[in-house]
Amino acid sequence: MEIISTHKQKTLAQDISYTGIGLHSGKPATVRLSPLPPDNGIVFIRADLPERTAIPAQADFVGATMRATTLTRDGQEVFTVEHLLSALYITDVDNCQIEMSGPEPPVGDGSALSFVELIKRAGVMEQDKARKTARIAEVLTVYDGERYVMVLPYDGQRFSFLSLTDQSGLEPQYMDIQIGRDDLVAQVAPARTIAFVNEIEGLKRMGLGLGGTPENVIVYDGDKALTPLRFTDELVRHKILDLLGDLFLAGRFTGHVIAVKSGHALNTALAKKIAEYIEKGESGPC
C-alpha cells in the first residue's frame, strides 16, 4: 500500500444549517455544518446532549446497520448518516463539524441532493495541508452468502454495483461510475431512498421509516414504482450513494469497488477492512 498526496484538504467556507424531519425517527431535525482545521476529518456532535461528545465519521465507530448506518461513541449515537457523508464525499470535503439537534439528520428529499446544495451554498475552500489518499494494492473482500462487496487495485476511483432484490418482477439494475469522470452531483446525488409496500408495516413496528413520505421515499409495489422516478434505475443509483457514504468512513482511497446486493452491513464491514489495511500500511510496509 502507498499513501499519495496530490490534492489539498478542503473544508467549508462558512457555517450553514438545514432543518427537516428524520427519515426513521419522524422527528424534527436540524444540522449545522461548520469548517474544521486540517486533519480533523468529519465529526458529529449531538448538540442536544450536555456532554457534546465528538463522534468521528470513522469505520471504528460503526454501530448498528439496520436500514441505515449508525455511529456510536461513549453511549451516544447518530444514525442515518450515510446520505450526509455521501454529500460531503461528492463535494470533496475532508474536514467538517456536524452539530445535530438529535440522533438523526433531516432526510431532505430522501437523497443527498439537499445536503449537496447546502454545502455548495456554504462554499468549499482548500486548506494548507495535503490530503492523504491510500492506494489499495491488494483485493479486500467481504462476503455474506450471495452478497458481497470488494475493492481491487485500480488507478483511480471506480464503483460498480449490481442491485438484485427478492421483490417479484423487479429487474436487476447495474451502475458503474468513475470518480473524476462522471458527474456525481447529477447522476448519484438526486437518487432517493427505496422501500417496498410489503415491508412498510414491519418497518414501522420496529420504529423505522416513521418520517417516510411519498416526497422522500420511492415506494415499489412489486416492479411498479408508486412514486415518479427521477431515473429508471434510481434504485441502484441510491445504492451507489449509500456505498459512497459508508466507504467514506474508511477515508480517501483509490481502487475499484464492486458490490453485488450489498447494504450498510457489508459496506461498513468493508470500510473497516480498508481502514485496518490503511492503518497497517502506515505503520509499516504493506
User: Closest Cα to residue 229, out of 247, 96, 238, 198?
Assistant: 238
Among candidate residues 24, 238, 256, 264, the one labeled active-site is 264
Q: Inter-axis angle of helices 264-283 and 234-247, to 10 degrees?
A: 30
Torsion of CA 127, 130, 132, 133, to 10 degrees: 90
Sign of CA dihedral 132, 137, 140, 146: positive
| Whole-number Å distance between alpha carbons of 178 and 263 | 20
Residue 91 neighbours by CB distance under 10 Å: 22
Return the number of other C-beta atoms located less than 10 Å from residue 229's C-beta.
12
Q: Which of 12, 17, 18, 16 lies closest to 35, judged by CA?
A: 12
264 is a catalytic site residue? yes
Taking alpha carbons only, the member of 93, 96, 157 closest to residue 131 is: 93
Residues marked active site are found at: 264
